Structure 1
Amino acid sequence: MFQPVKIAPSILSANFMNLRADIAAIEEAGAGYVHVDVMDGHFVPNLTMGVPLLKQLSRATELPMDVHLMIANPLEQIPWFVDAGADSITVHAEALGVDELVRAVALIRESGCAPAVSVKPGTPVEALLPVLGEVDMVLVMSVEPGFSGQSYIAGSEGKVAQVVAASRALGVAPLIQVDGGIGPATAPLVAAAGADVLVCGNAVFAADDPGAALREVAAAADAARLAALAAAGA
């Protein structure tokens, strides 16, 4: 059954001097989430936003706060982001041992947020298996995490397809999110492979009209998704 792709604009690429207007633009254009990239300068080589900004963002919109923790110690900090207004929290499989990853997912769920797990481009899908049946979403990184504005790594749609296959084998259906270099040209690739949620940074917020840019990406993704469904049913 066809479900439209949801767009999760990454606030990291927004104009921080004009955040309220940027949020209003993506809200009006039909964004599914606000994607909040949290980087600690340890797990990834960059330092970005944290709890204070998330608190402000969560009060400025009714859109769900999709928090992506690119940090070395998520078990310690998950409660901070829950309290700050996160609706979903993504942790990286690479940041935790298997037992810790299971604990982190359970903690997010018990705290009332939707748990999600992410893998870097070089990490095999098998790293997801310990929690694949327990998460609401899987985030496939199509660039190396740490900086916005990077180009899509060719072939990343193949990993999306692998996550789809692994999920079906377990009898589960988490949302599949893709982050990195997503725009009108790359959104169709991952949407056709099975992606449900697309994180867009510069493709939306660097455009003259962020709302129009968001709708363009969504339309391209939906067209590819419909074509893939039609082909599968043929």
Structure 2
Amino acid sequence: LLEFISLVDFLDAILHFLPRAISAALLVLLGGLGARFLAATVAALARSVNIAYSRLLAALVEYVLLAFLVIIAISLLGIDTTVLTTSFTILLAALGLAIALSFGFGSQEAARNIIAGYYIRRHFSPAQELRFGEYEGRFQATSGMYTTVEITDERGQTRLLSIPNTVFLRQIIMGGPAGSAPSSAEVTGPRVGGPSSPSTAETPPPSPSDADEASE
């Protein structure tokens, strides 16, 4: 009889544990798929702004989410995860601070290019003629980091030139009125080798000595 009671208790414990085990397994499985999708999204966004370590950032996001899901799954099994949760929270906070500092000091140029791209989109429209340095061409488009200009080289061939947004903004519209598009003269400037307007020198008025000589 005692052995039968022990067997019943064992089966009852299994029946109570099995739903929690299934829930934990489904959480890890579905959460892992979601973490992978989110990591791929982060990698695509990082590549769109030309972040060199986009894969590392995506892997970091995926592993952090997986670790968080594992902790939740362990707690669903009825195991106390207080110490594990506290340790993971401290580690995650330290890691987040390190990432924030690295982005703050390491991606300043990317942030400047993104902001410059916003102003370029306000000031320029596709096919607008402009002059950039020694090149003359047409504005095509701007992205998160670069502006594309269609130029004609010295051999008469048309090609696309990609310019960092900050460099393009300094060379083209710096010094123009704020909030208004630059005029054609401000953008294109004089053509290389174009005709120059003749200069007219003003005739100075005659001096008193010259007037006396003329009267004599």
TM-score, scaled relative to structure 2 = 0.21
Q: Which has the higher helix share?
A: 2
Please state which structure has a larger fraction of its residues in strand.
Answer: 1
Task: Identify which of structures 1 and 2 has the higher relative contact order when contacts are C-alpha pairs closer than 8 Å and 6+ apart.
Answer: 1
